[in-house]
Amino acid sequence: MSRHEASPTTVQPASNHRPNACCFCWCCCCSCSWNEDRERAWRASRETKLETIPNCEACTKPTAEEVRGWAQSFDKLMKSPAGRNVFREFLRTEYSEENMLFWLACEELKSECNKHTIDEKARTIYEDYISILSPKEVSLDSRVREVINRKMQEPSSHTFDDAQLQIYTLMHRDSYPRFLNSAIYKSLLQSVSRSSSES
């Protein structure tokens, strides 16, 4: 038996991993086993990624004065690690925690100097928050997306600056006013005020 005769029986077909596939598209337009497998893999990768996210930044307990300051300006809230943690907790209740996670990832990227690390972190940020396939995709306009796609050819520590500003503005205008009226913020304010009056 020649080498040519043996090869068809030893080489596995490329589509072997998706039996009974009724289509070759990447959409969810059908319920074939291939789409079910993809969805299972997507869920598993999402859960793994979410597990690797630290619960919160390390910070000290905020003072009553600091917590009251968060109501004076969004900048004060975002400059405080404790403020970011509480705001992030609020965003989680609104299913928009990815906005804060993206903003924090961009801050981390901007502090990076090593070219290889910048490339890796930029690609991770893109896959986690910019890609339309990501479960944590942030809401950006098409102009900003085009800018990012161009910059991803040669990523730098400032690749996502426009997107970060857009998400910061979105959180400020949209989520911040609701945060100040939320039970999370009000109960914290009450708690720290009570603690400071007792001491």
Q: In CATH, which of 3.90.1200.10, 3.30.460.10, 1.10.167.10, 3.40.50.1100 is domain 64-196?
A: 1.10.167.10
Q: Given a cut of 90, is residue 14 above it in pLDDT?
A: no
Average pLDDT (22-35) is 38
* Amino acid sitting at position 94: E
Per-residue model confidence as pLDDT tens digits over 53-87: 345 666 678 999 999 999 999 999 999 999 999 99
Helices (H), 11-160: 33-52, 64-70, 74-79, 81-93, 97-110, 115-125, 142-151
pLDDT band for position 92 (cuts 50, 70, 90): very high
pLDDT at 196: 75
Q: What is the pLDDT of residue 55?
A: 56
What band does 199 get if pLDDT is binned at 50, 70 and 90?
low
- Burial letters 68-87, b for 16+ CB under 10 A, else e: ebbeeebeebbebebbbbbb
Report, as an integer, the average pLDDT of 155-174: 98
| % of the chain at pLDDT higher than 90 | 66
**Burial class (CB within 10 angstroms; exposed 0-12, middle 13-18, buried 19+) of 119:** middle
Q: Which residues contact 89 (CB under 8 A, 6 or more apart)?
A: 184
Highest-confidence range of 29-43, 45-59, 184-198, by mean pLDDT? 184-198
Provide mean pLDDT across the span 153-172: 97
Domain ranges of the chain: 64-196
Supply the DSSP string of 119-160, one letter for each residue: HHHHHHHIIIIISTT-TT-----HHHHHHHHHHTTS--TTTT
